A and B are shown apart, each in its own frame.
Chain A
Amino acid sequence: MRILSILSPILLATLFATASGCSSVEPWVKPYERDNLADPVMSLSRHGKADSYMNHVYQARESARGAEGGSGGGCGCN
């Protein structure tokens, strides 16, 4: 972790420099080609609160927590 904190500023500077040069990147999947992606079968959080409920079920029975995807905000529970 110490190496990461030393490297972070260098990484930041490099990526910032790179980023400012690639503002002309064109989307390679055009908006009119996204009908499959817009189909609900391609959603990671289609069931709304029913999906975040399962994270709560697992957090109460497993030590792992976090990076569940979807909207964050913490569980607000124990």
Chain B
Amino acid sequence: MAATDGNRFVLSALLLIVLLLSGHQAQAATLPVDNVDVLYHRYDGGGMVIDGPSVLVRKSIGSQFSLSGQYYVDSVSAASVDVLATASPYKEERNEYTFGIDYLHDKSILSLGFTNSTENDYEANTVYFSLSQEFFGGMSTVTMGYASGWDEVGRVGNDSFSEEADRRNYQLGLSQVVTRNSLVGLDLEVVTDEGFLQNPYRQNRYLDPNDSTAFLYQPERYPETRTSTSVAARALYYLPYRASIRAEYRYFSDTWGINAHTIELGYVHGLNEHWTLEGSIRYYTQGEADFYSDLFPFENSQTHLARDKELSSLSGTTLAAGAVYEWKQTSLPGIDRLQFSLLVDWLNFDYDNFRDVTAAGDYLPGEEPLYSFDALVTRASLILEY
């Protein structure tokens, strides 16, 4: 019911924008610039190391079409607290391919794309469509997006296990020039899921009825539907010297009873014609899902059962720093612009009601120390425009 109302609201909003756009003279839109975007990414923390490359190539065909293709890899080496509690460390790889086409027509940009992601126990497919248009003399840009995904969930070591999950995203965004030095952005996104939404490997625990100093595991059991709504506001201000400050806030709520807030502040400082430095701080906090518990009182004590730490009450802080080298009108043959960035993010997550069952020492069930971890994310990015 909530999903239906959410969909109807978003569809009404999308329709409203179409009507608004039809009443205005739009400014000329431009297709994305031809470029090659190469990224190396590495995540290291909480017993997980995930790294790999990403390569995107974009090329225009004539003046109205732009084609893009991206290849992305996650090489995973996992020994996280969830894995160590009930299974053995493992390695796996996820490969993702995306193909997209952008079409400039009658002062709007229409984008269509397809993404396929495969790993040994999961396959995800997504088609997306978006429409972006500038109006009010280029002061406002409105973007509407829709994506539909269908996933196949498998389980290593159990060939007969096969489940499905479907997903739909509805997006609406507005970017608005406020003054010659400031921009604001508003975004709304509703996501609905249906199907097998839990991790087939994770389990939850309950008190052993025969021994109150011990606990037993049982499979996770999630609802088969979920609808979430996110609303975000962003503001960017150009300072009296060559630098900018940024503030963002996002509110999130879903039908599993989770509410979350995200706040981010950023600063970008232009050192000279080529170099800029940047730093940001991000704080995230969420409440737990209605059916989450670190320790259930007995087996099958309620309809839905989860002890996935991502559904618990938690908070996270990120400190980020980066350096960017930019070279416009390069003397390199065939390259108009080059940008190299090195970005490092330190993340810390603290859980309010997820306990670390792997902690050394003798603890009674429910008295183990609360879990927390930190991670370092490194990104090296090279963008060549031609």
B190: interface (CB < 8 Å): yes
Q: Inside 8 A of A27's CB, which chain B residues have their CB?
A: 136-139, 177
Q: Is the CB of A73 within 8 A of B310?
A: no
The 8 A CB mask of A35-78 against B (1 = contact, 0 = none) is 01101111010111110011001101111111111011111111
Pairs across A and B, CB under 8 Å, 23 listed: A1-B6, A5-B9, A12-B16, A19-B19, A19-B23, A27-B139, A34-B177, A39-B238, A39-B270, A40-B324, A42-B238, A49-B72, A63-B289, A64-B250, A66-B228, A67-B250, A69-B248, A75-B126, A76-B96, A76-B98, A76-B116, A76-B117, A76-B149
Q: Report yes or no: A57 in contact with B128, Cβ–Cβ below 8 A.
A: no
The docked-state distance in angstroms from the alpha carbon of A66 to that of B177 is 23
Size bracket, chain A contacts: 35 or more
Please determine whether B286 and A64 come into contact, CB atoms closer than 8 angstroms.
yes
> How distant is the Cα of A27 from the Cα of B138 in the complex, in angstroms?
8
- Show the binding face of B for A, using Cβ within 8 Å: 2, 5-6, 8-9, 12-13, 15-16, 19-20, 23-25, 35, 37, 39, 41, 43, 54, 56, 70, 72, 94, 96, 98, 100, 111, 113, 115-117, 122, 124-126, 128, 130, 136-139, 143, 145, 147, 149, 151, 167, 169, 171, 173, 177, 179-181, 183, 185, 187-191, 228-232, 234, 236, 238, 242-244, 246, 248, 250, 252, 254, 256, 258, 260, 262, 268-270, 276, 284, 286, 289, 310-311, 314, 316, 324, 326, 339, 341, 343, 345, 347, 349, 377, 379, 381, 383
Contacting residues, chain B, for A68 (C-beta < 8 A): 187, 232
Closest to B309 in A: A61
Cα of A72 to Cα of B143 in the assembled complex, Å: 9
Given that A39-B242, A42-B236, A47-B341 are known contacts, is A73 also in contact with B180, CB under 8 Å in the complex? no
Q: How far is the CA of A1 from the CA of B347 in the complex (A)?
A: 35
Question: With A and B bound together, what is the CA distance between A65 and B39 in angstroms?
Answer: 23
A68–B116 alpha-carbon span in the complex (Å): 21
Known contacts A39-B238, A74-B169: A46-B379 contact under CB 8 Å: no
Interface pair B147/A73, CB less than 8 Å apart = yes
Given A19-B23, A74-B115, 7 more contacts at CB 8 Å? A27-B136, A41-B244, A41-B276, A42-B244, A49-B70, A65-B189, A67-B171
Residue of A nearest to B55 (CB): A49
Q: Is the CB of B23 within 8 A of A44?
A: no
Q: Are B316 and A61 in contact (CB under 8 A)?
A: yes
Residues in A neighbouring B339, C-beta threshold 8 A? 40, 46
Chain A nearest CB from B80 CB (Å) reads: 10
Complex interface: chain B residues within 8 A of A40 (CB): 276, 324, 326, 339
Shortest Cβ distance from A74 into B: residue = B147
List of 5 A-B pairs having minimum Cβ-Cβ separation, nearest first: A27-B137, A66-B189, A76-B115, A73-B128, A1-B5
Return chain B residues, CB-CB under 8 Å to A20.
Answer: 23
Contact B343 A50 (CB under 8 A): yes
Measured in the bound complex, the distance between the Cα atoms of B262 and A26 in whole Å is 35
Which residues from chain B contact A71 at a C-beta distance below 8 Å?
A: 111, 130
Q: Is the CB of A36 within 8 A of B250?
A: no
Contact of A74 among B23, B25, B128, B246 (CB under 8 A): B128
In-complex Cβ contact of A29 among B16, B117, B179, B343 (8 A): B179
Give the nearest-CB partner of A20 in chain B.
B23
Of the residues B246, B262, B324, B349, contact of A64 by C-beta under 8 Å: B262
A62 touching B230, Cβ below 8 Å: no
Assembly CA distance A39 to B115 (angstroms): 31
Cβ B19 vs Cβ A12 within 8 A: yes
A53 lies within 8 A of B41 (CB): yes
Query: Are A44 and B19 also in contact (CB < 8 A) when A34-B180, A62-B284, A76-B115 are?
Result: no
Which of A11, A33, A36 lies at the interface centre, i.e. has the most chain B CB atoms within 10 A of its CB?
Answer: A36
- Chain B residues with CB below 8 A from A15, complex form: 16, 19-20
- CB of B338, distance to nearest CB on chain A (Å): 13
Contact for A44 among B234, B316, B324, B343, CB less than 8 A: B234
Interchain CB contact (< 8 A) of A65 among B23, B191, B256, B345? B191
Cα-based distance from A17 to B123 in the complex (angstroms): 46
Specify which chain A residues have a CB less than 8 angstroms from the CB of B115 in the assembled complex: 73-74, 76
Residues of A within 8 A of B56 (CB): 48-49
B243 to A, closest residue via Cβ: A41
